[in-house]
Structure 1
């Protein structure tokens, strides 16, 4: 019984942290919500790294509290997307306001713990993510080749 109480407390803390990171504040006169992720992300380099660390900490807490490998892989993918696109100056800050990786991860966590969804291994996430990464890197290499062939011809 004590372990369940500890798990609920940890999950509640992560929900609160996600709210602070993604949707604690509102732009006056709008329904647009943002959090510390977007604010701290305005500090070049350090801000994005700091928010990545907070998101990573949240994932580690949820992993210690029994989240499946599939949920952890999906959460990690959300954080990686947020970190990569969020690090682009200006556009990344707008992306942080819209994407809300931590809120997405809390939704996955609720679905996993409450509804019993998202069970199983991480391969259902890892293999497609690696395939997309391979295609993107291959596409960038091809575009670089075409660009240099065009410049030097």
Structure 2
């Protein structure tokens, strides 16, 4: 019988099914299809961004799911905070017509967030979970951001319509 410590892996801790699902979602959102002749991938996130009014909000909702699952796995408050900053950048810049869609191809927030999750789960030492109140406040803010991403285009389109057609 050996007294040497066993190496703890993500799989040995029972995270494998959740990580497999999150990896699949992240790949679909950020780089499902590789552009032939390049290493650039395009996922559903930039494509959803092309949908007027709610496309960017829909992408944000899928990104929030990855963070919710990460929080369930016990990631720290600082890791959740970094994940949220990634998707806020993605949502805000992605909402800019045309430029935002190009940005969404390059800024793969979901892949970055999955990397943060995996690094956290693989890091040795004591794990300090994020405070549930902190997570709740941040998610409320993200839902508010999704509402703004839907409302702003509606307001802008309405204003342009009234200006052009006097309606």
TM-score (norm 2): 0.65
Match of 2:88 in 1: 80
Aligned-pair CA distance for 1:26: 1.4
1:106 correspondence with 2:106: no
Matches within 5 A, 1:129-144: none
TM-score (norm 1): 0.71
Matches within 5 A, 1:61-76: 61-76=69-84
Q: Which has the higher contact order (CA 8 A, sep 6+)?
A: 2
Distance 2:51 2:102 in 1: 14
8 Å CA contact retained: 1:52, 1:79:
yes
Distance 1:116 1:49 in 2: 36
Match of 2:151 in 1: none
1:73 to 1:116, Cα distance in 2 relative to 1, 3 A: farther
1:48 correspondence with 2:56: yes
Distance 2:65 2:49 in 1: 17
1:83 to 1:116, Cα distance in 2 relative to 1, 3 A: farther
8 Å CA contact retained: 1:45, 1:87:
no
5+ long unaligned stretches in structure 2: 1-11, 132-137, 139-167
Runs of 4+ in 1 over 3 A off after TM superposition: 119-122
State the superposition RMSD in angstroms. Answer: 2.3
Q: Secondary structure at the match of 2:71?
A: helix
Which structure dedicates a bigger proportion of its chain to helix? 1
Distance 1:67 1:98 in 2: 26
